[in-house]
Amino acid sequence: MKTLKLFAMLCTTLLLCNSCLKGIGWEEEQRENNKEPEKPQTGLVLTATPSTIIADGEDVAVLEITLNDEVLTEGFTIYDDEDNIVELENMEFSTTVAGEYKFWASYKSEISETITITAEEPEEDPEENPGDNETPEGPTDSDPENLNFKRRVLLTQFTGTGCGYCPGMILALREVMQDNTFADKTVLAAAHRYPGSDPAYLANYALDVAMGIGGFPSLSADMYYTYGLYSNMVEVIHKMVDASFERTTTKAGISAVSYIEEDKVIINATVKAAEESMFRIGAWLLEDGIYGQQTNYGYEGDFNIHDNCIRVADSKASSSDYTGYDIGPVGEDGEVQPIKKGETAEYTFTIELKDKWKRENCSIVLFVTTPEKVQGRESYFVNNVIEIPLEGEVAFEYEESEDEE
């Protein structure tokens, strides 16, 4: 195997020398035009997204191999740092052992640089829905017969302190949130996924992979619409939210009460169905006011204080699905059943609070998802969302009738 690697490196060197001879004068011509030479990425490139995973056997890094910016699907070989051939199903790497894992690839006479995937020790998982925990009763339903719930859209911002273009999206979000009408119909959560040194880095929850995020900055609306935002950001954000309201009807409302018990926050949530459906529910813990030096490619403003940062995403249905946990009555077969129109179901979350988190800056986002068909395939997407204090309660919210207006 060492011979293969040396042969590939020799071939690459010869090719580079030939390219240098052909390129004489090209860079001088570029300088005369006062332009930086724009060279396409060449050679064999191995990448992993994300480069940091949790060593729980479920979190995955997806590897990709390109040659001159063209994705390869066959004919290549992947090796570890001891030159052992590595077989990866669906080009996904996962592990239950924390540490650094190095890989490189070969294709014909080409050889890639070595990459590193870091697997971190998993945090202690939040307790699963306990059911037996004593939680205070939720707020009183002011209108039990009413099913005309107020609805909000969940906006998930994908960002990081290492992203120089992310301040552009931060500015756009600040602008749209200044409109109280717009802000009142959305809930914003920020997933910091790049780099690992980001003080708000979301280490245990690969939301970007689950939602198909390919770069930063990006924004997701209700886990349905996802865009990489680089231009016309304010206009695009408005269109995403409008499209979310037009996409489907409001199928449920949420009420909840939360309280702290020692080093945990316990949230008792109630879902009331406006129409019969299967439902899932998820809880995310957010923290405001996190300081982190933000890379900035020329945007004006202060971007070093980060708000709405997701600390815990307690909604992991599977390794690539964060749409929440089934909620509803349990049938004789032990399976969760749909919630009938006008009826309710409860779910209790218990989330551990870390000492470094400032509790006075934290809040809880609760969302419900429902199944929708997209191109003939059924998937779950956010249908409604609320935000509550770390210690507090929110009753069902109803749309005002014309008489009340």
The domains located in the chain, with CATH, are 2-22+39-120 (2.60.40.10), 153-394 (2.60.40.10)
Mean pLDDT over residues 119-147, rounded? 74
Question: What mean pLDDT comes out for the span 351-372?
Answer: 97
pLDDT at 186: 98
User: Does 17 have pLDDT greater than 80?
Assistant: no
* Segment (H or E) for 236: helix 233-247
Instruction: Summarize the confidence of residues 119-143 as an average pLDDT.
Output: 70
**Within 13 Å of residue 367, how many CA atoms lie on the same side as its CB?**
30
Spatial CA neighbour of 280 closest among 237, 309, 251? 251
Mean pLDDT of the chain: 87
Which single residue is written with the structure tokens 């063209």? 70
Confidence of residue 229 (pLDDT cuts 50, 70, 90): low
pLDDT for res 250: 98
Least confident of 40-54, 201-215, 292-306: 40-54
Which pLDDT value is given to residue 131?
A: 44
Q: What is the pLDDT of residue 279?
A: 98
Q: Which of 379, 391, 369 is nearest to 282 (CA)?
A: 369
Output the pLDDT for position 137.
74
Question: What number is the average pLDDT over the span 274-297?
Answer: 98
Decide the pairing of beta strands 52-54 and 115-120: parallel
- Cα–Cα distance, 256 to 270 (Å, whole number): 6
- CA dist 313 and 191 (Å) reads 10
Q: Does residue 350 register a pLDDT over 70?
A: yes
Give me the mean pLDDT over the 370-390 stretch.
Answer: 96
How do residues 45-73 score in pLDDT, each as one tens digit?
999 989 999 999 989 999 999 998 888 99
The burial class, CB within 10 Å (0-12 / 13-18 / 19+), for 360 is exposed
CA angle 173, 177, 182 (to 5 degrees): 120
| pLDDT above 60 for 1 | no
Judge whether 283 and 362 are in contact, CB under 8 Å: no
Could you give the percent of the chain with pLDDT greater than 90?
77
Structure tokens at 281: 């529910």
Q: Using 50, 70 and 90 to split pLDDT, how confident is the model at 400?
A: confident
* Residues 365-386, mean pLDDT to the nearest whole number: 96
Alpha helix (H) ranges present in 166-232? 166-177, 180-184, 207-210
Strand-strand pairing, 110-111 and 99-107 = antiparallel
Degrees to nearest 5, angle at CA 335 with 330 and 340: 50
**H helix or E strand, kind and range, residue 32:** helix 26-32
How confident is the model at residue 69, as a pLDDT? Answer: 81
Work out the pLDDT band at 187, boundaries 50, 70, 90: very high
Task: Answer whether residue 161 shows pLDDT above 60.
Answer: yes
| 122 pLDDT higher than 90 | no
Assess whether pLDDT exceeds 90 at residue 127: no
Encode pLDDT of 168-178 as tens digits.
999 999 999 99
Most confident segment among 38-47, 106-115, 342-351: 342-351
Q: What is the pLDDT of residue 387?
A: 98
What pLDDT is stored for residue 31 in this prediction?
Answer: 40
By CB neighbour count within 10 A (0-12 exposed, 13-18 middle, 19+ buried), where does 140 fall? exposed
Q: What is the pLDDT of residue 402?
A: 55
What is the Cα gyration radius of the chain? 25
The band of 92, judged by pLDDT with boundaries at 50, 70 and 90, is very high
pLDDT band at 33 (very low <50, low <70, confident <90, very high): very low
Q: Is the pLDDT of residue 316 over 60?
A: yes
SS3 label, residue 399:
coil
Query: The dihedral of CA 379, 383, 388, 392: what is its sign?
Result: negative
Specify the pLDDT at position 35.
38
Sheet architecture: strand order including 252-261: 344-352, 264-273, 252-261, 392-394
State the pLDDT at residue 375.
87
Give the pLDDT band of residue 123 (cuts 50, 70, 90): confident
> What is the longest distance spanned by two Cα atoms in the chain?
82
